[in-house]
Structure 1
Amino acid sequence: METVEFKGSHDPEKKIVVSLFWTVRKTIREEGCAPVHIKRIRTSRNVYEPEGRKLLKLSDDIMEDILRDMEMGNTVEFEMTMGTESLRVLIDDKRFSVEATRTPEIEKEIVEKLEHETSKLTPDFCQTFLPRIFPNQ
């Protein structure tokens, strides 16, 4: 597992979006354009999992719960798959950690990219990523 301390004073929502975007983007190099599936999100109060064949997305209620946890200093855990890779992401207001089961080398690539992006005034991510994880955007 690799970890990075967030630089800058970005709001928690931006930290989540940038973190998930670069996690997926760096994993694409190993897995191609396989679909991203969020299998589970754990907050201090709830565990979110997809219902049936639906994809788990960050609804307003889930996002509110995540942001509340981050603001209280709690860690939120995301379990995701992309192709044959399984990823575990831990995020709080101060740091981000990632663990890859099949290709641990991408952990370092993801952390290095996040270290670079969060030091910027405006971190870079593709706007077309938002509808993939947020149902209302």
Structure 2
Amino acid sequence: MSTAEITGNIHPKRKIIMGLYWINKKAASTEGCEPFLIEKIITGTNTHVSGENKFLKLSDNILNDILYNMEHQREVKFEIKFGKENIGLSICKNAFSISAAKKELEVEIAEKLESEGKKMYPGICSKFPQRVGIKDYP
């Protein structure tokens, strides 16, 4: 497991998008055009699981649950499938922890999150929030 410390003053919603976006972007370099699927989200209060052959979208209810737990300093975990790669993302306070079968991918994601985490507005594709279900992106 690799960890990235976020030092910038980033809004919690931006932290979520930043983490998911850079996992998607970096995993695409090794897995190609495979689908990016959020299979499970575990918060301190709920577990959200995707349906069979579907993936979770960050609907208002799920996003509010994630943000509530982040605001209360509780760990939020994501289980992501990208092609053959299973990637774990954990966000707690200002730390991101990433786990992947390919250690080099894990390290690459952590390094990118740490560098982007120094910015107030980390770089992401403007269409990505909608792709994962977020309608109102700050």
TM-score, structure 1 length as denominator? Answer: 0.93
User: Aligned ranges for residues 6-17 of structure 1 at < 5 Å?
Assistant: 6-17=6-17
Asked if the contact 1:12–1:93 (Cα under 8 Å) also holds between the matched residues in 2, the reply is: no
User: Quick check: 1:30 aligned with 2:30?
Assistant: yes
Give the structure 2 partner of residue 107 of structure 1: 106
Give the structure 2 partner of residue 85 of structure 1: 85
Distance change >3 Å, CA 135–CA 117, structure 1 → 2:
closer
Cα distance in structure 2, aligned partners of 1:55 and 1:5: 28
1:51 offset after TM fit, Å?
2.7
Give the structure 1 partner of residue 3 of structure 2: 3
**Per-residue displacement from partner, 1:68-106 (whole Å, max 9, x unpaired)?**
1111111000001000000011012311010002x1211
Cα distance in structure 1, aligned partners of 2:18 and 2:134: 17
User: Quick check: 1:44 aligned with 2:44?
Assistant: yes
Cα distance in structure 2, aligned partners of 1:13 and 1:136: 12
Give the structure 2 partner of residue 20 of structure 1: 20
Cα distance in structure 1, aligned partners of 2:71 and 2:62: 14
What amino acid is the match of 2:24? Answer: V
What amino acid is the match of 2:74? Answer: N
Give the structure 1 partner of residue 71 of structure 2: 71
Identity within the alignment, %: 39
Asked if the contact 2:10–2:119 (Cα under 8 Å) also holds between the matched residues in 1, the reply is: no
Query: Secondary structure at 1:127's aligned position in 2?
Result: coil
Count residues in correspondence: 136
**Per-residue displacement from partner, 1:8-35 (whole Å, max 9, x unpaired)?**
1111100000111001100111100100
Cα distance in structure 1, aligned partners of 2:120 and 2:51: 37
Cα distance in structure 1, aligned partners of 2:129 and 2:60: 13
Cα distance in structure 2, aligned partners of 1:28 and 1:54: 19
Give the RMSD, CA atoms, in angstroms: 1.3
Asked if the contact 2:5–2:117 (Cα under 8 Å) also holds between the matched residues in 1, the reply is: no
Query: Secondary structure at 1:45's aligned position in 2?
Result: coil
**Per-residue displacement from partner, 1:34-85 (whole Å, max 9, x unpaired)?**
0011110000111101134442100001011101111111100000100000
1:135 offset after TM fit, Å?
5.5
Distance change >3 Å, CA 69–CA 135, structure 1 → 2:
closer
What amino acid is the match of 1:32? Answer: G
1:120 offset after TM fit, Å?
1.7
